[in-house]
Amino acid sequence: MKKLKISFLFTLLSILSFIIFSGVSVFQSNSFDQTTAVESKHVAKNKNLDKYSDKPLGAFVEINTTTFRLFAPNALKVFLITFNNYDDDYGKAFEMKVDKDGVWEFIVRADLTNKYYGYKVFNNEYDDLDTLPLCVDPYAKAVATYNTYMNPRKSIVYNEEYNWENDEWIQRDWKDLIIYEMHIRDITAHQSSGAKFPGQYKGLTEKNIKGGLPYIKNLGINTVELLPAMEFGTMEIPFEDSLSGRFNTWNPYERNHWGYMTSNFFAPAAYYAENWKNFKRDEWMGVDGNQVTEFKDMVKAFHKEGIGVVMDVVYNHLSEYEIGNLKQIDKEYYFRLDENGNFIAESYCGNDLKTEAPMMRRLILESIIYWMKEYHIDGFRFDLGKLIDWETIEEIIHEARKINPNVVFVCEPWGGGYDPEGFSLRDWGAWNDQIRNGIKGENPIDGLGWIFGKWYGNNSPQRIKSYVNGTLVRDQHGLFHRKEHSVNYLESHDGYTLGDFIRIGTNSVKHDSIITDVDKNILLDEEQLRLNKLGALFLFTSQGITMIHSGQEFARSKVIPFNIEVPDEHKGMIDHNSYNKDNETNYINYFHADMNKELLDYYKGLIQLRNTFDAFRRADYNNIEFFEKANSEFALGYSLIYNGDKFVVLFNANPGTEETFSLPEGNWSILVNHVKAGIEVLEKVNEKITLPVSSGVVLKLN
């Protein structure tokens, strides 16, 4: 769940203010040879919620012909508006025909490739062509956006071929996934990355640089999960100023950086295709459609290195940072409304999409299939998945697997409810918040978890054992029917980084301290280093899907910099909700990775261990046996056997006492201890082993 997404309803004042602000002007009449203007019947009182059509939607170019189709069953009239240039105030208006199923159509006897267009939708008999907002095509393949609040957009008739060079989807068993959650811009935006195209799709195709793709490959990661990369609303109201009856008191950055305000489900975000150091207000972006090719180049570059690409997608709500989308096309059909016609917003994001409506379901499904076929995307992570109805969830995975049997589907199992087991029953994976909260804790101030030697909430030794096994329903309080449905993680884009959680949890720094020396803050002391390693070791030796967030591997810290021209009263503090910051709060600083190289190398070693030995991914439930005679409730040990290999994994989460374990019979090689991790033998032991405080080991039978 994205915090601090402010929900609101657009009023008539919003619409009028947008029109004045964006400069939408009177449109000229038809000028192409072929017109199909008709007088539409009044259908506003008929909500047409059961309407459905199989016709292709969007803009399609064939030989000297461009067809436009829009589904809007409750509209009174719809006009297609075309533009020669992205910044034209005047366009050509064509009244469209509607069929019995609510699909509006207009055919132009010309190839309009690379031209711009939108729709004017009449939902009221008093609507006026001049004052209606220009609506973006929900099926637009590329979009040009004017960077200001309400994000005025024009759809692009996109019709380009691409050479994939025999690229295919990555076929990988879910058990083998090691996911690296990352933001496209943040991963190369910092100067330390060495990228020539910092913050762009292109930056992730560069070789021989310190950051970006070479860094991810060197870690051993096999799958990246991109924070939202479909076209999204980026601009908020000017800070401490009003616009359209709203006063911005919450976001001095006037930005939505993470991208959880999707506006177009078929178009890649132009935000990551622009060559600028600082994002610019009151300018157009995405006007040439290059974001399409650059996104494909990025995916192809990852695939060439054997790295899968998963997209974080938002189908539960629509961007509220704009006007001229599904809300103005057909509010009654596409959105869940209360009895007074107001948006329901269990997403806390201003609106919830009516995913159960047949054509909304079709839009979601076709979007997924499009990204798989057109962009070779290997999987999807659904934001607030519980807000998507079950029939849609079931149909998505059924149809997607016809294309790629190994396509990845995981989600946040909350949003208007909480049901990870429901997703597991439908063969979806879900983020495992039990392991996150149980191992590190729920908050670093008064909710510390197991690695700190604490039992937070209802956590217990039995639950810790359950996490090792994939948090299965066969264990009491388990969540999943198959271990590969459990996405095990300790850090994500939401909340404090694991490094900062530990810094605050150990009282090394207060959550509201002013940090003047960022380098000193990032450098781990002995206690912080041990706790980071302990959490990582538990994560990488547990059954299920493993996920880390970018920078977790070197205990990244999100300190808000002082040298930004933004009136932020929290400058110098650690940030736990950096959704609005296109600055060094979020950028991956590879100099800091060098400073905490011991932890970085430890993560590399754990990734190598997990990739090398199937036991940590595929061991059967019955082949994991826990030691019952540990000396402390914070001492945990177990053995596991798979394919002839036998391992022992031991943890001492007690912060004040060493723990001695008796080992099973045999000679054991230590592969992981409190200093190093990997597949090389560090030491050989038998009979007994003593673990320092806050540490763990992995041993392999010789």
The average pLDDT across 355-364 equals: 98
Residues 6+ apart with CB under 8 A from 191: 198
Contact status, residue 392 vs residue 422, Cβ threshold 8 Å: no
Quick: pLDDT tens for 313-339.
Answer: 999 999 988 899 999 999 999 999 999
Asked whether 456 and 441 are in contact (CB, 8 A), the reply is: yes
Higher pLDDT, 40 or 632: 632
Distances (CA, A) of 413 to 3, 192, 356, 479: 16, 36, 18, 10
The residue type of 299 is V
CATH topology of domain 622-701: Immunoglobulin-like (2.60.40)
**Phi/psi zone of residue 219: left (φ > 0), alpha (ψ -120 to 50 degrees), beta?**
alpha
CB 537 within 8 A of CB 651: yes
Residues forming a β-bridge with 135: 119
Q: What is the pLDDT of residue 28?
A: 37
**Dist CA 661 CA 297 (whole Å):** 52
Written as six digits, the tokens of 514 are 């002013």
Mean pLDDT within 196-214: 97
Q: Domain residue spans in the chain? A: 12-156, 179-316+354-612, 622-701
Position 249 pLDDT exceeds 70:
yes
Lowest mean pLDDT among 147-151, 579-583, 588-592: 147-151
Given this model, what pLDDT does residue 3 score?
A: 41
What's the CA angle centered on 700, arms 697 and 702, to 5 degrees? 145
Higher pLDDT, 91 or 242: 91
Q: On the CB side of 229, how many CA atoms lie within 13 Å of its CA?
A: 32
- pLDDT score of 632: 84
588 pLDDT band (50/70/90 cuts)?
Answer: very high
Residue 279, pLDDT score = 66
Inform me whether the pLDDT recorded for 109 exceeds 80.
yes
Q: d(Cα 582, Cα 585) in Å, to the nearest integer? A: 8
Q: Global pTM?
A: 0.93
DSSP per residue over 99-141, as a string?
-TTSEEEEEESS--TT-EEEEEEE-STT--TTTSPPBPPTT-S
Fold agreement between 12-156 and 622-701: yes
| 28 vs 30: CA distance, rounded Å | 7
Candidates 343, 326, 322; CA nearest to 18 is 322
**Pairing verdict, β 65-71 and 58-62:** antiparallel
Average of pLDDT values for 455-478?
94
Q: What is the pLDDT of residue 278?
A: 63
Task: Tell me what percent of the residues of the chain surpass a pLDDT of 70.
Answer: 92
- pLDDT given for residue 415 in this prediction: 95
**SS3 (DSSP) at 296:** helix
Predicted local distance difference test score (pLDDT) of residue 523:
98
**Residue 416: its pLDDT value, please?**
87
Q: Coil, strand, or helix at residue 80?
A: strand
pLDDT on residue 15: 36
Distance separating alpha carbons of residues 272 and 212, to the nearest angstrom: 14
CA distance linking residue 224 with residue 669, whole number of Å: 32
Joined tokens for residue 258 = 């993470």
Say what the pLDDT of residue 236 is: 87
**Confidence label for 281 from pLDDT (cuts 50, 70 and 90):** confident
CB of 58 within 8 A of CB of 137? Answer: yes
HEC string of 244-286 equals: CCEEECCCCCCECCCCCCECCCCCECHHHCCCCCCCCCCCEEC
User: What pLDDT digit, counting tens, does each position of 610-661 carry?
Assistant: 999 999 999 999 999 999 766 788 999 999 999 999 999 999 999 999 999 9
pLDDT of residue 192: 98
Residue 681: closest CA among 701, 658, 652, 659: 701
Residue 313 or residue 32, greater confidence? 313
Handedness of CA 15, 122, 158, 309 (dihedral sign): positive
Q: Which of 282, 75, 62, 87 is nearest to 157 (CA)?
A: 62
pLDDT at 409 (0 to 100): 98
Using CA atoms, how far residue 639 sits from 478, 623, 645, 650, 689, in Å, is 21, 8, 11, 9, 14
Q: What is d(CA 212, CA 654) in angstroms, rounded to the nearest whole number?
A: 37
DSSP 660: E
- CA–CA separation, 686 vs 701, rounded Å? 10
Amino acid letter, residue 625 = E
CB 559 within 8 A of CB 574: yes
Confidence of residue 435 (pLDDT cuts 50, 70, 90): very high
Tell me the average pLDDT of the chain: 92
Instruction: Report, as an integer, the average pLDDT of 415-424.
Output: 96
Q: Which position among 254, 274, 330, 412 bears the catalytic label? A: 412
pLDDT at 275: 78
Instruction: Indicate the CATH number for domain 12-156.
Output: 2.60.40.10
**CATH number of the 179-316+354-612 domain:** 3.20.20.80
130 is catalytic: no
Render pLDDT for 290-308 as a digit per residue (tens, 0 to 9). 999 999 999 999 999 999 9
CA dihedral 377, 380, 383, 385 (to 10 degrees): 140
Task: Clarify whether 88 is annotated catalytic.
Answer: no
Sequence letter at residue 28: Q
For the cut 60, the answer to whether the pLDDT of residue 679 exceeds it is yes
pLDDT digits (tens, 9 = 90+) for 126-144: 999 999 999 999 999 999 9
| H/E run at residue 695 | strand 695-701
Residue of 186, 383, 582, 584 marked catalytic: 383
What CA–CA distances, in Å, run from 642 to 288, 421, 617, 624, 639? 54, 27, 10, 9, 10
Q: What pLDDT is stored for residue 17 in this prediction?
A: 38
- Kindly tell me if the per-residue pLDDT of 13 is higher than 50: no
CA–CA separation, 537 and 546 (whole Å): 11
Q: Phi-psi category of 506—alpha, beta or left, where left has phi over 0 and alpha has psi -120 to 50?
A: alpha
Q: What percent of the chain has pLDDT over 90?
A: 87
